[in-house]
């Protein structure tokens, strides 16, 4: 399996989505916070209300007191193309990739002009062949999210991408906010990897670092997590998000796991490195009390005490029943030359 889409290490994406709530300044603050946490990319969503929605579109969660309809929400939280370009430039300045999921053909065209390393297709549009074909025309790799898809639907999307000879990846996703552990579906990572022979990852909505760390131990190529600047922020995704502090922990944990996975241990070689410490941590057979020459040693005459510079515990049964050649003091190490 190639991981060239994301590079050699797990590609960690901090998902802002619409957590900026239409504030350009807050969107820029998210870029700084996610970059400082060590993520590889900052991801947004590009909604153009008039190209995407009608007044009949319902809210998934009725969270907004200021937007009468979902259309109003998309309109209020949208940015101009110049503003999107400024966000992308800020990402470049901070050394992170700019990514945004498009939710209309117009959004695809806008983001194509701005540029991003790959398209992230949201779960609701995995089966949208019109969107997929338009994205494939750009030549940019595609990452599929599978939160609302059957295997047959993912198969169909993958077949379409393969026919275009584009690079692609597949993410396990469960559309639940927040997602409970029994529905995360880590078993799908090896399934997708074997079935499609592509990079795989997890789009996680658990609001914990645990799922991402577990996915990293399984060799996930990409992790995507929603991010919030604080649990008290406004928006429907906050309950399914990590704080920026938790994102930093996730990044550190994933890199730690990658280092472990990349460095298998030779147990014999590792043990050899501890030779200078063995004497400190191991034990020697010593006299438990003063013993005279000619004493026949019993178990009660002996003790195991540190340091381990004398005969070790493995010699215990050999020594019991032997006769001392000389007198020894309490806690004195018993040596082979002391025994008849």
Q: Which two tokens stand for residue 107?
A: 């959004």
98 inside domain: yes
Give pLDDT tens digits along the chain (340 positions). 334 588 789 999 999 999 999 999 999 999 999 999 999 999 999 999 999 988 878 777 777 778 888 899 999 999 999 999 999 999 999 999 999 999 999 999 999 999 999 999 988 899 999 999 999 999 999 999 999 999 999 999 999 999 999 999 999 999 999 999 999 999 999 999 999 999 999 999 999 999 999 999 999 999 999 999 999 998 888 999 999 999 999 999 999 999 999 999 999 998 888 888 888 889 999 999 999 999 999 999 999 999 998 999 999 999 999 999 999 999 999 999 999 9
Task: Examine the domain organization and report whether 286 and 178 are in the same domain.
Answer: no
2 inside domain: no
Task: Examine the domain organization and report whether 93 and 192 are in the same domain.
Answer: yes
Which of 208, 231, 262 marks a domain boundary?
A: 262
CA distances from 310 to 259, 286, 328 (A): 38, 8, 14
The owner of tokens 């969660």 is 61
- Residue 133, helix vs strand vs coil: helix
What's the CA gap between 111 and 105, in Å, rounded? 10
CATH of the domain at 334: 3.90.1210.10
Give 226-274 as a DSSP string.
EEES-TT--STTGGG-EEHHHHHHHHHHHHHHHHHHHS---HHHHHHHT
Q: Is the pTM of this model over 0.85?
A: yes
What's the CA gap between 13 and 227, in Å, rounded? 9
Q: Render pLDDT for 36-87 as a digit per residue (tens, 0 to 9).
A: 999 999 999 999 999 998 887 877 777 777 888 889 999 999 999 999 999 9
Residues 6+ apart with CB under 8 A from 330: 286, 287, 288, 289, 290
What's the CA gap between 28 and 90, in Å, rounded? 7
CATH of the domain at 97: 3.20.20.70
CA distances from 186 to 31, 101, 154, 211, 321 (A): 28, 23, 17, 8, 59
Count of structural domains within the chain: 2
Task: Examine the domain organization and report whether 17 and 64 are in the same domain.
Answer: yes
Task: Examine the domain organization and report whether 72 and 179 are in the same domain.
Answer: yes
Rounded to the nearest 5 degrees, what angle is found at the Cα of 274, between the Cα atoms of 269 and 276?
A: 130
Q: Provide the pLDDT for residue 4.
A: 58
177 inside domain: yes
Please, what's the largest Cα pairwise distance for the chain? 103
Task: Examine the domain organization and report whether 76 and 213 are in the same domain.
Answer: yes
Task: Examine the domain organization and report whether 321 and 223 are in the same domain.
Answer: no
298 inside domain: yes
Residue-range definition of the domain harbouring residue 173:
11-262
269 inside domain: no
Task: Examine the domain organization and report whether 278 and 222 are in the same domain.
Answer: no
3 inside domain: no
């Amino acid at each position: 399996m190639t991981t060239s889409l994301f590079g050699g290490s797990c590609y960690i994406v901090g998902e802002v989505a619409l957590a900026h709530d239409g504030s350009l300044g807050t969107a820029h603050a998210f870029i700084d916070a996610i970059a400082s946490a060590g993520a590889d990319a900052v991801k947004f969503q590009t909604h153009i209300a008039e190209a995407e929605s009608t007044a009949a579109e319902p809210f998934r969660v009725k969270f907004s007191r200021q937007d009468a309809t979902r259309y109003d929400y998309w309109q209020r939280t949208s940015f101009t193309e110049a503003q999107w370009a400024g966000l992308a430039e800020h990402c470049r300045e901070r050394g992170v990739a700019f990514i945004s999921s498009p939710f209309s053909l117009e959004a695809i065209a806008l983001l194509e002009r701005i540029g991003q390393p790959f398209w992230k297709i949201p779960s609701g549009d995995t089966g949208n062949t019109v969107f997929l074909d338009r994205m494939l025309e750009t030549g940019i790799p595609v990452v599929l999210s599978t939160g609302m898809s059957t295997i047959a639907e993912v198969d169909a999307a993958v077949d379409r991408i393969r026919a275009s000879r584009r690079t692609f990846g597949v993410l396990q996703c469960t559309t639940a906010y927040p997602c409970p552990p029994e529905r995360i579906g880590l078993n799908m990572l090896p399934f997708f990897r074997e079935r499609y022979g592509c990079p795989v990852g997890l789009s996680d909505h658990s609001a914990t670092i645990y799922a991402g760390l577990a996915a990293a131990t399984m060799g996930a190529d990409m992790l995507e997590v929603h991010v919030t600047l604080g649990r008290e922020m406004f928006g429907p995704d906050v309950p399914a998000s990590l704080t920026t502090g938790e994102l930093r922990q996730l990044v550190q944990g994933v890199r730690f796991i990658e280092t472990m996975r990349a460095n298998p241990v030779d147990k014999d070689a590792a043990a050899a490195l501890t030779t200078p410490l063995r004497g400190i941590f191991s034990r020697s057979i010593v006299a438990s009390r003063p013993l005279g020459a000619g004493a026949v040693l019993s178990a009660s005459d002996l003790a195991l005490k540190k340091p381990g510079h004398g005969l070790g515990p493995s010699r215990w049964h050999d020594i019991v029943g032997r006769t001392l050649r000389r007198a020894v003091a309490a806690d004195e190490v018993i040596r082979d030359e002391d025994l008849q």
